[in-house]
Chain A
Amino acid sequence: MNLTLKIWRQKGPQDKGKMVDYKVSDISEHMSFLEMMDVLNEQLVNSGEEPVAFDHDCREGICGMCSLHINGEAHGPDRGITTCQLHMRMFKDGDTITIEPWRAKAFPVIKDLVVDRSAFERIQQAGGYISVNTSGNTQDANSIPISKHAADEAMDAAACIGCGACVASCKNSSAMLFVGAKVSQFALLPQGQVEATDRVKNMVAQMDLEGFGNCTNTGACEVECPKGITLENIARMNRELFKASLIKF
């Protein structure tokens, strides 16, 4: 298929940036979206132009590196997938595809379609962990009784790959689905209880500090999340923070 691509080009963080049109031809419907981007970049390199910078790593929907806001949606028009799993069969010959970086003040553009998502790292560092003695006498996790239901819910929350599609999709650029998932995966398990109060308070404080917006429960994040993280995780985070604020002012 032959396509017109409207791509955000930005030389660096200080550059103003603009949308630039490109044509690509003979794109196979079996290609992934990132392979189509590879074809474009090969074409640009061969003609002496600067290739389009975009994030990618595993190309298996696991790592959370690939981003891209495609035709007005995070990771494109398909559901439950990352951009590397988006296939060109979702598009038609002659289509014009708009490709933009995640847009959020907390995710500044580094170059072209690459954004700085280290705000997520700082939120994680603020409390997204449990302190475990790993000096050789670590307790076997299976020795702690955990209900199947809680284990399943914690695993569902832990499926978050931190790609940032929630922020990109939210009209408020809110990171609450991400933080809700990271708080939930520990809040649901006994191992997470010891640091629960400080965890939620510190992670929410860091989230606010990073400049993400406030959740207004539109549910866009849940729809666009490639890993099916649900709004229940935001509700749980809200309860956790309320509880933590009652315990520790």
Chain B
Amino acid sequence: MSGFFNSSIGRKYAMAFSAFFLIIFLVIHLAVNITSVFSEDVFNDLSHFMGTNPLIQFGLQPILIFGVVFHFVMGFVLEAKNKSARNIKYARNNGAANSTWMSRNMIYSGLVILAFIVLHFIDFWIPELNTKYVQGDMSGLLADGEGFRYFEELQHKFVNPLRVGAYVIAFILLALHLLHGFTSAFQSVGATMGRQKAMKNIGKAYSILIPLGFIVVALFHHFNH
């Protein structure tokens, strides 16, 4: 199979498999985040479970990091190869006549998402690693010991309107990325169901609702902190 994954089509499969994994991950991430809008306690309990469960922390988290890094690195590698396949550009090219803006600009929406992930890691992931694995505090409790810290940290992050603005922009770009990527992933693995109307509609619904959910969470906590 090594020959398969070295071929152009094998790389399409690899991109699609990592995309499917990330599509499922986004659903789980939003399912946890959205609870913060309805219940502080449920959000705290879920966050503590996700942040301390060994299977999630040492089993799923490394796979997730690999999936994210792989999707980005492979995306850049393929983009570079694709760019080099046309050494002289057209003087006039009417891309809008035969394809969507989203499909032609996956690299740019991807770059914005990458910038967002860097910001997100600085905001949440690195402080979490610091608290849990550098300072050794696995309790998940506030400094005064009065309840879990997760909800308070979440609200605190969304005070700054610039950060909220950056999150909203990034999620709009994520929606655009998904509007092509969702059905494209099915096509890449040879599943023509991605071309059928029902699956196209599911893709559209997913691509709009998931980023919208994240935007709602960010805006809710900005206006309700």
Identify the A interface with B (CB < 8 A). 6, 8, 19, 69, 71-73, 77, 98, 100, 103-106, 169, 171-174, 176, 201, 204-205, 207-208, 211-220, 223-224, 231-232, 234-239, 241-242, 245-246, 249
Q: Is the CB of B85 within 8 A of A220?
A: no
Is B8's beta carbon under 8 Å from chain A? yes
Residues of A within 8 A of B81 (CB): 213-214
Q: For residue A180, give the distance in angstroms from its CB to the closest CB of chain B.
A: 10
Residues of B within 8 A of A245 (CB): 1, 3-4, 10
Residues of B within 8 A of A103 (CB): 86, 88-90
Give A100 to B88 CA distance when docked, in angstroms.
11
Residues of A within 8 A of B8 (CB): 174, 176, 204, 207-208, 212, 214-215
Give A236 to B187 CA distance when docked, in angstroms.
9
Q: Is the CB of B9 within 8 A of A237?
A: yes
Max chain A C-beta neighbours (<10 A), residue from B13, B90, B180: B90
Q: Is the CB of B85 within 8 A of A100?
A: no
Q: Please choose the segment from B33-41, B48-56, B60-68, B190-198 that sits at the chain A interface, where 4 or more of its residues have CB less than 8 A away.
A: B190-198
Is B84's beta carbon under 8 Å from chain A? yes
Q: For residue A32, give the distance in angstroms from its CB to the closest CB of chain B.
A: 21
With CB as the reference atom, state the residue of chain B lying closest to A237: B9
Give the residue of A6, A204, A216 whose beta carbon is less than 8 angstroms from that of B82: A216
Q: Please choose the segment from B22-30, B96-104, B129-137, B209-217 that sits at the chain A interface, where 4 or more of its residues have CB less than 8 A away.
A: B96-104
Q: For residue B108, give the distance in angstroms from its CB to the closest CB of chain A.
A: 13
> With A6-B91, A234-B187, A235-B187 in contact, is A214–B99 under 8 Å at CB?
no
Q: Is the CB of B97 within 8 A of A214?
A: no
Q: 3 closest A-B pairs (Cβ-Cβ)?
A: A72-B94, A213-B85, A239-B190
At the interface, is chain A mostly helix, strand, loop or mixed?
mixed
Interface Cβ pair total, 8 Å cutoff: 141
Q: Is the CB of A77 within 8 A of B187?
A: no
Give A249 to B1 CA distance when docked, in angstroms.
5
Residues of A within 8 A of B188 (CB): 215, 217, 238
Q: Is the CB of B82 within 8 A of A218?
A: no
Is B47's beta carbon under 8 Å from chain A? no
Q: For residue B69, give the distance in angstroms from its CB to the closest CB of chain A.
A: 19
Given A72-B94, A238-B12, 13 extra CB contacts under 8 A: A73-B94, A173-B86, A174-B85, A176-B9, A208-B8, A213-B84, A231-B187, A235-B187, A235-B191, A237-B9, A245-B4, A245-B10, A249-B2
Q: For residue B162, give the distance in angstroms from its CB to the closest CB of chain A.
A: 33
With CB as the reference atom, state the residue of chain A lying closest to B85: A213
Give A72 to B97 CA distance when docked, in angstroms.
9
Q: Is the CB of A241 within 8 A of B94?
A: no
Q: Is the CB of B3 within 8 A of A173?
A: no
Q: Is the CB of A242 within 8 A of B82?
A: no
